[in-house]
Amino acid sequence: MPGKDMDTDAGRPEPFQFTQPPMSGRKEMMAMTNPLFKRLVHFLHRKHGPGLDLDDHEIGFLRLIEGKHANDQAPLSWWCAFNNVDGDKIIKKLRGRGYITLSDYRYNVGKSTVPVLKSVLKAHHFHTKGKKADLVERVLANISGCDCSRHFTQSYYVYTQKALDALREANIRAEEEYNIRIDLIRRGDYAKLKAKLYPNRSEHWGTEDTFFDTLDFIMRHGFEGFGLSENTRQDISAFMALRAIDYSSRDCSTYKNDIFRYLTSAGIDYRTLRVHDSLLSYAAKNEIEDHDEIYGIYCQFIIDRARSTAELNEYRRLGVKKIKVDTVACQECGLSKHGKTYPINKAPILPSCWNCRCIYTC
């Protein structure tokens, strides 16, 4: 808003409205016992599953290596550089211990490109019409394995049964660990969670205490105004809170599914919840009809607000007195051109609207 002070609530969307009565205590109980049951199943799996002789990096590498060119010098080099590990060494270990092997000619034919498939078929006087799957089938049905090996020289890393078992085991453990982390958040034991996630105190989160404030904000304000009981509100906010401070434990995109699954198990159909007008009209304006996407916007909004709040608190702790809001990248707030400087205690909490791209600068 040009020429006008933004107060902290400016553009703040109102909460969702809830069309269902708060649920009964029994349904809540069932929702709470579900994760416990899940954990018991995982525990039994783990007890009887195969042992893992790979560390987290090796498992991470194993997740990504299937189907990668074996003729390449350094597969997954970007990943190895990012994680500071030696890919060749890991490959050697994975092959030596029977987790991966080189693909056979059938696999190589299947991974080949259409032009190569056609040229091989042509050379052997077979017709070259059809989709890729047809061409692959024709090659495998008519050309000997020996000839195929000669034509299709690119080979790939493929999983053995041992790898499939190991990955299943690793996924069970990741799920288990995920549930432990969610429990820590629900119990408010953020310090233990932080020690788990960032054992090395010199890491980013070890020095910046935005960690606690981010969690705290989400657990206080997540799904506020939805009409849910306090227990349910906090339980589903925990998924969002973990997502806000940890990208590594599981696929990032699953936290919304966890929320939906939890609500479903508590007898609440999230699709029947009525979204507040300001988010609905924002969604309509942008032709967003999908409930998942609308919830995604809501969750991202709260996560961003939590991070902003934590960031402002951190600035306060550092003794910063004034803060500028840079609106340049924000279509909604960009009207005020150069942004505005605020005393730190009067700064608006960003984002200030559903599509806000504003950032704080010092």
What residue has token string 């600035």? 315
Min. distance of Cβ 347 from Zn ion in angstroms?
A: 13
Nearest CB to Zn ion, comparing residues 211 and 360: 360
| C-alpha to C-alpha distance for 249 and 15, rounded to whole angstroms | 30
By beta-carbon proximity to Zn ion, the closer residue of 177 and 304 is 304
Asked whether position 347 contacts Zn ion by CB under 5 A, the answer is no
Q: How far is the CB of 330 from Zn ion (least distance, A)?
A: 3
**Of the candidate residues 218, 219, 330, 347, the single one contacting Zn ion (CB under 5 A):** 330
Q: Which stretch binds Zn ion (CB under 5 A): 131-139, 228-236, 314-322, 324-332?
A: 324-332
Q: Which candidate, 297, 314, 290, places its Cα nearest to that of 351? A: 297
Q: What is the nearest approach in angstroms of Zn ion to the Cβ of residue 242?
A: 26
Residue recorded with tokens 């704080």: 360
Give the total residue count for the chain: 362
Nearest to 137 by CA among 112, 157, 155, 154: 112
Distance CA 181, CA 152 (A): 47
The footprint of Zn ion on residues 150-209 (CB under 5 A) is none
Of 60 and 348, which CB lies nearer to Zn ion in the complex structure? 348
Calculate the alpha carbon distances from 253 to 170, 244, 271 in Å. 19, 12, 19
Q: What are the two backbone dihedrals, phi and then psi, of residue 100, each rounded to the nearest 5 degrees?
A: -130, 155
Q: Is 358 in the site for Zn ion (CB under 5 A)?
A: yes
Q: Does 6 bind Zn ion (CB under 5 A)?
A: no
Size of the site for Zn ion (CB under 5 A): 4
Residues 283-322: x where in contact with Zn ion by CB under 5 A, - otherwise, as a string: ----------------------------------------
Cα 314-245-256 angle, rounded to 5 deg:
135
275 is an interface residue for Zn ion by CB under 5 A: no
The residues with which 361 forms a beta bridge, in sequence order, are: 324
Residue 333 makes contact with Zn ion by CB under 5 A: yes
User: For the chain, how long is the longest CA-to-CA vector?
Assistant: 79
**Chain contacts with Zn ion (rule: CB under 5 A):** 330, 333, 356, 358
